[in-house]
Amino acid sequence: MKKILIVIFFILISICCVDPINLKYSPSNRINNVLVTKVIDGDTIEILVEENIEKVRLVGIDTPEPYSKNNESKWYNLPDKHLRKWGVNAFYYTNERLYNKEVNISYDTIQGQKDQFGRTLAYVYINNKNFNIELVKNGFARVYTEKKSDYYIILIKAETYARNNKIGLWNYSYQDN
Active site positions, annotated:
57, 65, 119
Distance CA 72, CA 78 (A): 6
20 burial level (CB within 10 Å; 0-12, 13-18, 19+): exposed
Question: Can you tell me whether residue 38 is helix, strand or coil?
Answer: strand
Q: What angle do CA 56, 171, 139 make, to 5 degrees?
A: 20
Residue type, 173: S
Phi/psi at 61 (5° precision): -135, 170
User: What is the C-alpha to C-alpha distance for residues 143 and 52, in angstroms, rounded to an integer?
Assistant: 29
